């Protein structure tokens, strides 16, 4: 990873912007390109877009994916990450200090409502953090009855699920919010459309985001509709920029590329964008600010280049932008 910076602990957003007296689109926006860095607010996004630009958005909704459990009589939290094709789930066991790495195949945990969870096997070779697990009840029912949004230590109090949904959310399935799209409001979207900016939907259900050091991104379920693929081709042919709203949208869109073009596709993607696999069709990305050791930084480099990303993060630290899902946002442009 080429981008390096130190993140002061007081730059983690601890609450939604609405709790800080801001509208959703009132968070700060840092616009970085090879030519310049500009500081503004998200409601002014349209000033940095052109008619014919295409914003690709993720329509995945956020699940209440954190559930209290008992492990040998001791309370812990289970994070439900990903639903697998055979009905099992990828889960993470958590304590207040972080992930629990001592799971055992066959271990049984008690869930609310007389449900139970049995660990089957590690979800990835060489990782002790994520487990494939069988659940005795319908997981969506367990989450609806007893789940809450996943949150980490920098968010000290609970917030309702509605604070973790974006305006584009249509199909629940993400363990954590595709947060780059959170600042969009219906009024902002309407204004951008009126100015000739295009929108295209896709789907990627994201899993939990707290990897161990050096752990690659997990495989995720995605879908790129034929109409979105056609809009990408249309915009590129006419000189419009294809801008992914979030790392999830970038990963899904690039997973549908073959022979230099986007095609309708769905299934599972294990694509890891980075220096060895730069973005083929994504020209820019709207994205939150990621932690220094996050694999997402490699994806940002794959889209905008290491120089632009480094310049953006240096400026964000210097200007005291706020990090994480309730924080500020950047627009990184390749050219």
Q: How confident is the model at residue 74 (pLDDT cuts 50, 70, 90)?
A: very high
Q: Please indicate, yes or no, whether residues 132 and 36 belong to a single structural domain of this protein.
A: no
Q: Please indicate, yes or no, whether residues 29 and 166 belong to a single structural domain of this protein.
A: yes
pLDDT digits (tens, 9 = 90+) for 286-296: 999 998 988 88
Distances in Å between the Cα of 252 and the Cα atoms of 29, 31, 206, 216, 263 are 24, 23, 10, 16, 11
Which pLDDT score is estimated for 210?
61
Q: Do the domain assignments include residue 153? A: no
Q: Please indicate, yes or no, whether residues 46 and 122 belong to a single structural domain of this protein.
A: no
pLDDT digits (tens, 9 = 90+) for 209-255: 866 555 667 899 999 999 999 999 999 999 999 999 999 999 999 99
Q: How confident is the model at residue 155 (pLDDT cuts 50, 70, 90)?
A: very high
Q: Please indicate, yes or no, whether residues 13 and 77 belong to a single structural domain of this protein.
A: no
Considering the entire predicted model, what is its pTM?
A: 0.95
Q: Please indicate, yes or no, whether residues 81 and 209 belong to a single structural domain of this protein.
A: no
Q: Do the domain assignments include residue 309? A: yes
Label residue 126 left, alpha or beta by phi (over 0 means left) and psi (-120 to 50 means alpha). left
Q: Which residues span the domain enclosing 137?
A: 73-146
Residue ending a domain, choose from 106, 122, 146:
146
Residue ending a domain, choose from 146, 180, 196:
146
Q: What's the token pair of residue 166?
A: 């974006």
Total structural domains within the chain: 2
The average confidence (pLDDT) of the chain is 95
Q: Do the domain assignments include residue 273? A: yes
CA–CA gap between residue 139 and residue 192 (Å, rounded): 38
Three-state secondary structure string covering 30-63: EEECCCCEEEEEHHHHHHHCCCCCEEEEECEEEC
Q: Residue holding tokens 């905008």?
A: 304
Q: Do the domain assignments include residue 310? A: yes
Q: Please indicate, yes or no, whether residues 53 and 100 belong to a single structural domain of this protein.
A: no
Q: Do the domain assignments include residue 243? A: yes
Q: Do the domain assignments include residue 325? A: yes
Q: Please indicate, yes or no, whether residues 54 and 82 belong to a single structural domain of this protein.
A: no
Q: Rounded mean pLDDT of 320-327? A: 98
Q: What's the token pair of residue 302?
A: 């794959």
Range scoring the smallest mean pLDDT among 35-39, 64-68, 127-131, 143-147? 127-131
Q: Please indicate, yes or no, whether residues 212 and 316 belong to a single structural domain of this protein.
A: yes
Q: Please indicate, yes or no, whether residues 164 and 266 belong to a single structural domain of this protein.
A: yes
Q: Do the domain assignments include residue 68? A: no
Handedness of CA 81, 325, 179, 2 (dihedral sign): negative
Q: Do the domain assignments include residue 67? A: no
């Amino acid at each position: 990873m080429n981008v390096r910076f130190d993140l002061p602990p007081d730059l983690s957003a601890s609450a939604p912007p609405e709790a800080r007296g801001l509208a959703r689109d009132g968070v700060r926006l840092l616009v970085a390109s090879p030519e310049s860095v500009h500081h503004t607010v998200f409601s002014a996004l349209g000033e940095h877009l052109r008619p014919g630009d295409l914003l690709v958005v993720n329509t995945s909704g956020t699940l209440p994916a954190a559930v209290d459990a008992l492990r040998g009589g001791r309370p812990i939290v289970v994070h439900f990450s990903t639903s697998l094709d055979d009905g099992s789930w990828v889960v993470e066991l958590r304590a207040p200090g972080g992930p629990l790495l001592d799971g055992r195949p066959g271990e049984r945990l008690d869930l609310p409502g007389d449900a139970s969870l049995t660990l089957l096997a590690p979800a990835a070779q060489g990782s002790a953090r994520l487990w494939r697990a069988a659940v005795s009840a319908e997981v969506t029912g367990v989450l609806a009855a007893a789940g809450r949004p996943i949150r980490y230590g920098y968010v000290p109090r609970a917030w309702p699920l509605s604070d973790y949904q974006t305006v584009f959310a249509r199909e629940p399935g993400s363990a954590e919010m595709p947060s780059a799209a959170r600042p969009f409001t219906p009024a902002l979207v309407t204004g951008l459309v009126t100015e000739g900016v295009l929108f295209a939907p896709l789907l990627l259900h994201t899993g939990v985001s707290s990897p161990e050091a050096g752990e690659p991104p997990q495989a995720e379920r995605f879908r790129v509709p034929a109409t979105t693929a056609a809009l990408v081709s249309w915009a590129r042919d006419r000189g419009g920029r294809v801008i992914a709203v979030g790392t999830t949208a970038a990963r899904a869109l690039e997973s549908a590329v073959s022979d230099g073009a986007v095609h309708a596709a769905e299934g599972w993607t294990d694509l890891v964008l980075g220096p060895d696999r730069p973005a083929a069709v994504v020209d820019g990305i709207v994205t939150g600010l990621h932690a220094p050791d996050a694999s997402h930084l490699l994806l940002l480099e794959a889209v905008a280049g290491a120089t632009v990303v480094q310049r953006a993060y240096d400026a964000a630290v210097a200007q005291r932008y706020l990090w994480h899902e309730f924080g500020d946002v950047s627009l990184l442009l390749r050219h």
